Amino acid sequence: MQNFAILTIQAISNNGGEPQWCFSQVKGTLDDDVTDADIISTVEFNHDGELLATGDKGGRVVIFQREPESKTTSPPRGEYNVYSTFQSHEPGFDYLKSLEIEENINKIKWLPQQNHAHFLLSTNDKTIKLWKVSERDKKFCGFNLIEDDGTDRDPSSVSSVRVPQVQPMELMVEASPRRIFSNAHTYHINSISINSDGETYISADDLRVNLWHLSITDQSYNIVDIKPANMEDLTEVITAAEFHPQECNVFVYSSSKGIIRLCDMRDAALCDQSTKIFEEPEDPSKKSFFSEIISSISDVRFSHNGRYLISRDYLSVKVWDIKMDSTPVETFPVHEYLRSKLCSLYENDCIFDKFECVWNGTDSGIMTGSYNNFFRIFDRNTKRDITLEASKDTVTPMQVLKPRRVGTGNKKRKEEISVDSLDFNRKILHTAWHPKENIIAVAATNNLYIFQENLPS
């Protein structure tokens, strides 16, 4: 059984004007004994922030629901409890390639809610599934030919006609697969994105992007294909892809060369020739053996208003204006102090870690992860940033968390952490930001931390 630690952290303004953070809620176990199946591999809020879904390497999806009482308190709190848990994917086997297909959940995306039920897409390396999550608090009973336990009733025993009745029952949350989209990707799926038309979505692997209709499972359209005729000529792979939030014909995809390509499906059926290419010229003074590796983009996201893009490479987050493709309008260093450690990070493979990045609901804030369970929040308006730690060592209720700082010089200042003492096995790869409030979710190994900005009461 998967265990979660959920921590809600509230921000309290001090006299200096900078926020202070403290714990206010802990749930689940904080044991150090962690199995690979329990490691969280994706986190995603739904469109109103009432539900929060996580996927893990064991193929399970856990959905948390916000407590109604937490919204009516003064100030409101961001408290979530388990709503539904189900097994989304099972391990498989590719018989043609003699390869195991892991059950690991790579991505979860919520569909806009149309009725009382919720729908979401989940994917592992090869198969995408559409799930319906619904509540049931009534049951039908009193059938003529079916017993209440579901078994068939002997017709000869029916002596009178009964009218079936609807009776209340204990609330039950059901998750059922509605569609299974498979056999369309030769390589591992790294992204899925719902279109603004609510009817189609894209899925991307290392070399191709496919367009699907949500009601058709046996057919998809290949809209990007960068596979060369000779695989020895391969120079880049697709790392992420996302639809525009308003324009149903526009999408972007990023590559391992540090390039973002914006495509318009109205131009051609196969979008190999992109409409715009976003690429920052390399600084010759910083060129090194690792330049190409650290320039690889691990995540790209449209802003909610569709005007900007954020991209995450190994050392920084960049903000792009989609009307200006020559250079990013903002660049935020995430852990520049690791530039001197690239050799050791290459040797332990950490340099290939894929960090995600997210916008806040107003597109004024950006969040991304780092090592030592640190994560960074950048304010685009004030140009200020803060480093916080998702730590299970300090779980005393309302205990204040201090901003973390990493020292690189010979003289370490008070409360600074030496870059040599950072734990690279503890890393924040997956994060999510509530679409309407300052509530954020941070996945740290098998623990899920939820942080909240405290409003004045």
Residue 208: pLDDT band with limits 50, 70, 90: very high
Give pLDDT, residue 16: 45
Give pLDDT, residue 76: 74
The least confident of 70-84, 310-324, 395-409 is 395-409
Task: Please confirm whether the linkage preceding 75 is cis (ω < 30° from 0).
Answer: yes
Over range 86-93, report the average pLDDT: 94
Q: What is the pLDDT of residues 136-173, one digit of tens each?
A: 878 778 788 887 777 887 887 877 888 887 878 788 89
Residue 148: HSE in the Cβ half-sphere, 13 Å Cα cutoff: 8
Q: Is 154 exposed, middle or buried (0-12, 13-18, 19+ CB in 10 A)?
A: exposed
Q: What is the pLDDT of residues 287-305, one digit of tens each?
A: 888 999 999 999 999 999 9
The least confident of 222-231, 262-271, 280-289, 305-314 is 280-289
pTM: 0.89
Give pLDDT, residue 256: 96
Over range 110-133, report the average pLDDT: 95
Q: Is 151 exposed, middle or buried (0-12, 13-18, 19+ CB in 10 A)?
A: exposed
The least confident of 262-271, 389-398, 402-411 is 389-398
Strands (E) located in 113-216: 118-123, 128-141, 165-181, 191-194, 200-204, 208-213
Give the whole-number percent of the chain exceeding pLDDT 70: 90
Closest alpha carbon to 388 in 450, 437, 316: 450
Higher pLDDT, 285 or 290: 290
Is it the case that residue 279 has pLDDT exceeding 90? yes
Rg of the chain on CA atoms, in Å: 24
How far is 68 from 56, CA to CA, in rounded Å? 26
Tell me what the pLDDT averaged over the chain comes to: 88
Is it the case that residue 54 has pLDDT exceeding 60? yes
SS (H, E, C) 19-87: EEEEEEEEECCCCCCCCHHHCEEEEEECCCCCEEEEEECCCEEEEEEECHHHHHCCCCCCCEEEEEEEE
